[in-house]
Chain A
Amino acid sequence: MDKLIEQFSLGLFFWMLILFVILVFFLNKFAWKPILNSVNEREDGIKNALEEAENARKEMQNLNADNERILKEARAQRDTLLKEAREMKEGIISEAKNEAQAQASKIVEQAQETIQAEKQAAITDLKNQVAELSVGIAEKVVRGELADKNKQIKLVEELLKEVTIS
């Protein structure tokens, strides 16, 4: 300890203190502040860039999710549209079928009716003709038969009988 105190040089201490304090002040002003500021600035820049990249990535993810959603929606819409179209088609077809059926049955009915009417007409006609023919024949037969009076009366009687019966 004694040796240390003896060795202690006030002059060296004095100069060291002054030079060192001056050095600290000068370096602070001209070196450390600019250096640390630049370093901080750079670090902030890097941090910001990283954050921005992260944000961009997130946005991208969101965008992708959006795209996916839109695609899904579009697909669903297409499906419904297709389904609707199919239903409509089927509806139209069945309707047309029904209508055609109805039309066809109507036509058939009408045809049947016409046929019936024609048949009736034909039958009536036939009946008329048969009647006329029968009347003619009967006239001729009657003419032949009615050559004599007895026969005429007999016939009339017979006819009358018949008429009454029928």
Chain B
Amino acid sequence: MHRINLIKILTLLLLAVTISANAQHDASKEAHGESSHKEKDIKTEIKEYIAHHLLDSYDFSLFSYTTDAGKKKYFGAPLPVILWDNGLKVFSSSKFNHGKTLAEVDGNYYKLYHNKIYKTDTEGTINYDEEHHATNVKPLDFSITKNVVFILFVAILMFFVFTRMAKSYKGNLMPKGVGRLLEPVVLYIRDDIAIPNIGKKHYRKYMSYLLTVFFFVWIINLLGLTPLGVNVTNNIAVTFALALITYLLTTFTGNKNYWKHIFWMPGVPWPMKIILAPIELLGTFIKPFSLMIRLYANITAGHIVLMSIIGLMFIFKSWIGSPLSFGLAFILALLELLVATLQAYIFTMLSALYFGMAVEEHDDH
């Protein structure tokens, strides 16, 4: 019964993805139709749509559509833009009007160009260098973007879910409700990720981070698969922040032994030690770097493939194309569910492994 329900829900979700993709697709076609890219074929359009989907945005629009009058309507809300440009500038992203108008704040003009904010003159001219890169000044941008909102949403969601879970332990040994569902996961992270990699002696101080990072990445990956389509973990900045925390934790909790193994590897002749030291030092950076790239690349690739397959529907406009694309997208969505969990697991697992190296006590050499 449960399985049937699950399948129903999944089907509905997928259908919703398809519909929203369809809606956006039409909208973007119209939008592009207005601009100079009139002759663009559908393939490029899909490519652009996917690229756009993968990017962050300054307003929280779930989908957009075009009215009968040919006007583009967005369903969503503008978000605050926070810039540091000789002083703090805070204004609503509605001023950009989805990149169509310049935002004028305190006599400065800002233009949204290729999803980045540039400072321009009153006309909004963008200057380019030889490689067609914009050379305009980019003010420091601390805007509350769609992804920031989503991170905040997930943080609040996690806070409520897990404090609720913690409360359900009060007075009784077994948790109730959501805690009963999540307790095995928490125990799994403790017993199968933290303890085997870090060791019984030190694992406690890393548990908060490991649990938070696992559930954060997992939940945000899963929500990224919903029709909301807010991908957070496919932003290099997000995975960089996570990897940076892992790196800092490893570095600052590393014991004497850890550093000794980096700078003066015991058990090898001294010329080797000199050669090994820079390699090992580089290794400490490469490890979290690989974490960052792995999570980013997996999620990005998954989304690109999933959306491309959905996009196939608009290329094969035949009776066989849509069901095929739908079926493939369905299977791939299931695979992505696995990837979402797996990437969260791998990130947590490898972080635990690095922490384990940092606190390992060698007695055997």
Binding site for B on A (CB under 8 A): 4, 7-17, 19-24, 26-28, 30-36, 38-39, 41-42, 45
Assuming A4-B236, A20-B241, is B183 touching A27 (CB within 8 A)? no
The answer to whether B173 and A27 have CB atoms under 8 Å apart is: no
Question: Separation in Å of the A16 CB from the closest CB of chain B?
Answer: 4
The answer to whether B145 and A11 have CB atoms under 8 Å apart is: yes
The answer to whether A35 and B169 have CB atoms under 8 Å apart is: yes
Binding site for A on B (CB under 8 A): 55-56, 82, 140-145, 147-148, 151-152, 155, 158-159, 162-163, 165-166, 169-170, 173-175, 179, 183, 186-187, 190, 204, 207-209, 211-212, 216, 235-238, 240-242, 244-245
The answer to whether B235 and A9 have CB atoms under 8 Å apart is: yes
Which residues of chain B have C-beta atoms less than 8 A from A15's C-beta? Answer: 142, 144, 148, 151
Which residues of chain A have C-beta atoms less than 8 A from B183's C-beta? Answer: 35, 39
For B133, give the chain A residue with the smallest CB separation.
A6
Q: How far is the CA of A109 from the CA of B183 in the complex (A)?
A: 108
Set B55, B163, B204, B209: member contacting A31, Cβ < 8 A: B163
Among A21, A27, A30, max chain B CB count under 10 A is at A27
Which residues of chain B have C-beta atoms less than 8 A from A22's C-beta? Answer: 155
The answer to whether B235 and A7 have CB atoms under 8 Å apart is: yes
Count contacts between A and B, CB distance < 8 Å. Answer: 122
The answer to whether B212 and A24 have CB atoms under 8 Å apart is: yes
The answer to whether B237 and A32 have CB atoms under 8 Å apart is: no
Q: How far is the CA of A26 from the CA of B155 in the complex (A)?
A: 10
The answer to whether A27 and B162 have CB atoms under 8 Å apart is: yes
The answer to whether A9 and B173 have CB atoms under 8 Å apart is: no
Set A4, A21, A31, A42: member contacting B165, Cβ < 8 A: A31
Q: How far is the CA of A36 from the CA of B208 in the complex (A)?
A: 10
Which residues of chain A have C-beta atoms less than 8 A from B212's C-beta? Answer: 20, 23-24, 27-28, 32
Set A13, A26, A35, A42: member contacting B173, Cβ < 8 A: A42
Which residues of chain A have C-beta atoms less than 8 A from B151's C-beta? Answer: 15-16, 19-20
Q: How far is the CA of A16 from the CA of B162 in the complex (A)?
A: 20
Which residues of chain B have C-beta atoms less than 8 A from A19's C-beta? Answer: 148, 151-152, 155
Q: How far is the CA of A23 from the CA of B245 in the complex (A)?
A: 13
Which residues of chain A have C-beta atoms less than 8 A from B174's C-beta? Answer: 42
Q: How far is the CA of A8 from the CA of B141 in the complex (A)?
A: 11
A-B contact pairs, 13 of them (CB 8 A): A11-B140, A16-B151, A16-B238, A17-B245, A19-B155, A20-B241, A20-B242, A22-B155, A35-B179, A38-B173, A41-B173, A42-B174, A45-B173
The answer to whether A30 and B163 have CB atoms under 8 Å apart is: yes
Chain B interface helix/strand/loop/mixed: helix
Question: Separation in Å of the A37 CB from the closest CB of chain B?
Answer: 8
The answer to whether A17 and B241 have CB atoms under 8 Å apart is: yes
Which residues of chain B have C-beta atoms less than 8 A from A41's C-beta? Answer: 173
The answer to whether A12 and B163 have CB atoms under 8 Å apart is: no
Q: How far is the CA of A90 from the CA of B175 in the complex (A)?
A: 78
Assuming A4-B236, A17-B241, A20-B216, is B159 touching A30 (CB within 8 A)? yes
The answer to whether A24 and B238 have CB atoms under 8 Å apart is: no
Known A10-B140, A11-B142, A15-B148; further 4 A-B contacts with Cβ < 8 A = A9-B235, A30-B163, A36-B190, A38-B175
Which residues of chain B have C-beta atoms less than 8 A from A38's C-beta? Answer: 166, 169, 173, 175
Which residues of chain B have C-beta atoms less than 8 A from A8's C-beta? Answer: 236-237, 240
Question: Separation in Å of the A119 CB from the closest CB of chain B?
Answer: 112
Question: Separation in Å of the B236 CB from the closest CB of chain A?
Answer: 5
The answer to whether A12 and B56 have CB atoms under 8 Å apart is: yes
Which residues of chain A have C-beta atoms less than 8 A from B241's C-beta? Answer: 13, 16-17, 20
Q: How far is the CA of A34 from the CA of B166 in the complex (A)?
A: 6
For A7, give the chain B residue with the smallest CB separation.
B236
Assuming A19-B151, A31-B163, A36-B207, is B141 touching A10 (CB within 8 A)? yes
The answer to whether A32 and B211 have CB atoms under 8 Å apart is: yes
Set A24, A28, A39: member contacting B187, Cβ < 8 A: A39
Which residues of chain B have C-beta atoms less than 8 A from A36's C-beta? Answer: 186, 190, 204, 207
Q: How far is the CA of A4 from the CA of B56 in the complex (A)?
A: 14
Which residues of chain B have C-beta atoms less than 8 A from A30's C-beta? Answer: 159, 162-163, 166
For A3, give the chain B residue with the smallest CB separation.
B236
Q: How far is the CA of A13 from the CA of B238 in the complex (A)?
A: 6
Which residues of chain B have C-beta atoms less than 8 A from A14's C-beta? Answer: 142
Q: How far is the CA of A36 from the CA of B155 in the complex (A)?
A: 20
For B244, give the chain A residue with the smallest CB separation.
A17
Nearest 8 pairs of A and B residues by beta carbon: A31-B162, A38-B169, A28-B208, A13-B237, A34-B166, A16-B241, A12-B237, A15-B148
The answer to whether B152 and A24 have CB atoms under 8 Å apart is: no
Which residues of chain A have C-beta atoms less than 8 A from B209's C-beta? Answer: 24
Q: How far is the CA of A27 from the CA of B142 in the complex (A)?
A: 25
Question: Separation in Å of the B97 CB from the closest CB of chain A?
Answer: 20
